[in-house]
Amino acid sequence: MIKRKLSPLFIVLIAVTAAAVTTSAQSRVLPVYEVSRTATPVKVDGKLDDVVWSKAAPLRDFRQNLDGKPGVAKTEARMLYDNDFLYVSFRCADKNIWATMKTRDQHLWLEEVVEVFVQADPHQRSYIELEVNPLGTMLDIYLLDIRKPLNYESWNSQRLKWAVQIVGTVDGKDGDREWTCEIALPIEDVVTAQNRPPQAGDRWRVNLYRVEQRPTAASLAWSPTFQEDFHIPAMFGEIVFTGNLVR
């Protein structure tokens, strides 16, 4: 390797550039979502027709994960909670729904999928990852650190609920309209939470993703990480549990 002496001006330029990049990253405002409490448990059937969903604020601003540009596929999500579950719903417009994997804990992210990441305590590095594809297949992972999961098959949530509904066919051909998904994550699984069940005012890091493959590949996020990686907890959004009760 050839060594060259750097001029003082060049060193200053490097420092200024590094500072600008750091400031830019710090200036990104991460999204916050206020989660209402449901007095009625959600019926997890994938239909999204429970009245309480209509009273939960929609998240429609899914963006390209790598650069933060507007998402190429219309996606909407909502969240609710009660003493037992954090409920998440997705509505994914899709003219070409596609997935093939039918076995729990397969690598679903290689096809079309929605994903939920939950880190209740940012001071502890563990977090939960959930993925569901249009065929209703689940991948649930408990990670002890960034990209350091327990063996996939060794951790399966016992009370986790999920379901999907398809308006179309899951065959990779055009002519479909949308698919919807409901997930109920047991509060008992979120072992790092300060309070179980959550109390009004509690805050968790959460991110929501959607991977689209056909006809155009896209990785969408509620809170973009600006990297080719979903596993950046510092860039997750934040949910705030509220005392707002919906029925």
**CB–CB of 209/117 below 8 Å?**
yes
- Beta-carbon contacts of 25 under 8 Å, excluding residues fewer than 6 positions away, are 226
3-state secondary structure 59-93: ECCCEECCCCCECCCCEEEEEEECCCEEEEEEEEE
Q: How far apart are the first and last CA of the chain?
A: 68
What is the pLDDT at residue 13?
38
Q: What is the pLDDT of residues 100-111, one digit of tens each?
A: 999 999 999 999
Q: What is the pLDDT of residues 111-153, one digit of tens each?
A: 999 999 999 999 999 999 999 999 999 999 999 999 999 988 8
What is the pLDDT at residue 240?
98
Mean pLDDT by 10 residues, the chain (247 residues): 40 38 57 98 98 98 97 97 98 98 97 98 97 98 96 91 98 96 98 98 98 96 98 98 97
The string of DSSP letters for 200-217 reads: TT-EEEEEEEEEE-SSS-
What is the pLDDT at residue 154?
85
Question: Residue with structure tokens 């979120």?
Answer: 190
Q: What is the pTM of this model?
A: 0.89
- Domain ranges in the chain are 30-246
In angstroms and rounded to an integer, the radius of gyration of the C-alpha atoms of the chain is 20
What is the pLDDT at residue 27?
53
Could you confirm whether domain 30-246 is CATH 2.60.40.1190? Answer: yes
What is the pLDDT at residue 165?
98
What is the pLDDT at residue 18?
39
In whole angstroms, what is the distance from residue 245 CA to residue 247 CA?
7
What is the pLDDT at residue 14?
36
